[in-house]
Chains A and B, each alone.
Chain A
Amino acid sequence: MRPFEYRRATKPSDISAADRIIAGGTNILDLMKLEVEVPAQIIDINPLGMTEISEIDGGLRIGAMVRNTDCAADARVRRDYPLLARAILAGASPQLRNRATTGGNLCQRTRCSYFMQPEARCNKRDPGTGCDALHGVNRSHAIFGASENCIATYPGDMAVALLALGASVEILGRTGTRSVPIGDFHRLPEHQPAKDNLLEPGELISSVTLPPAMGGAQIYRKVRDRSSFAFALVSVAAAITIADGRIRHAALAFGSVAHKPWQDPAVETALVGQEPSLKLFAQAADLLVGKAKAQSGNAFKIPLLRRALIAVLSEATNTEA
Chain B
Amino acid sequence: MSCNPPAKFTVNGMARTYTGDPRRSLLDFLRDDLGLCGTKKGCDHGQCGACTVIVDGRRINSCLTLAIMQHGSEITTIEGLGEPDHLSALQRAFIKHDGFQCGYCTPGQICSATAMLEELAQGWPSHVSADLQHIKLSDDELRERMSGNLCRCGAYSNIIAAIREITEATP
Interface residues of chain A, those whose CB is within 8 Å of chain B, are 1, 3-10, 14, 22, 24-26, 29-30, 33, 42, 44, 46, 69, 72-73, 78-79, 82, 85-86, 89-90, 92-96, 98-99, 228-229
Q: Are B2's CB and A7's CB within 8 A? A: yes
Given A5-B22, A72-B125, A89-B127, A22 and B45 contact (CB-CB distance below 8 Å): no
Q: Are B46's CB and A26's CB within 8 A? A: yes
Q: Are A96's CB and B69's CB within 8 A? A: no
Q: Is B4 an interface residue (CB 8 A)?
A: yes
Q: Are B116's CB and A94's CB within 8 A? A: yes
Main secondary structure of the interface of B (DSSP, over half): loop
- CB-defined contacts of A86 to chain B, threshold 8 Å: 127, 132
Given A33-B45, A73-B124, A93 and B69 contact (CB-CB distance below 8 Å): no
- How many angstroms from the CA of A93 to the CA of B58 in the assembled complex? 13
- How many angstroms from the CA of A29 to the CA of B67 in the assembled complex? 12
We find that the number of chain B residues with CB closer than 8 angstroms to chain A is 42
A-B contact pairs, 14 of them (CB 8 A): A7-B1, A10-B1, A26-B61, A29-B64, A29-B66, A79-B133, A82-B132, A93-B147, A94-B112, A94-B145, A95-B60, A98-B60, A228-B144, A229-B148
Interface residues of chain B, those whose CB is within 8 Å of chain A, are 1-5, 21-23, 25, 44-46, 49, 52, 58-61, 64-66, 68-69, 71, 112, 116, 119, 122-127, 129, 132-133, 143-145, 147-149
Which residue on A lies nearest to B126, using beta carbons?
A89
- CB-defined contacts of B44 to chain A, threshold 8 Å: 33
With both chains docked as a complex, state the minimum distance between the C-beta of B54 and any C-beta of chain A, in angstroms: 10
- How many angstroms from the CA of A229 to the CA of B66 in the assembled complex? 23
Q: CB within 8 A of A95: which of B2, B21, B59?
A: B59
- CB-defined contacts of A14 to chain B, threshold 8 Å: 1
- CB-defined contacts of B133 to chain A, threshold 8 Å: 78-79
Q: Are B71's CB and A8's CB within 8 A? A: yes
Which residue on B lies nearest to A46, using beta carbons?
B69
- How many angstroms from the CA of A8 to the CA of B7 in the assembled complex? 11
Which residue on B lies nearest to A34, using beta carbons?
B45
Beyond A5-B22, A72-B125, 18 extra complex contacts between A and B, CB < 8 Å: A6-B5, A6-B66, A22-B66, A29-B65, A29-B66, A44-B69, A73-B124, A73-B125, A78-B133, A85-B132, A89-B129, A92-B148, A95-B60, A96-B46, A96-B148, A98-B58, A228-B127, A228-B143
Residue of A6, A8, A29, A93 ringed by the most chain B CB atoms within 10 A: A93
With both chains docked as a complex, state the minimum distance between the C-beta of A100 and any C-beta of chain B, in angstroms: 10
- CB-defined contacts of A229 to chain B, threshold 8 Å: 147-148
- CB-defined contacts of A3 to chain B, threshold 8 Å: 21, 23
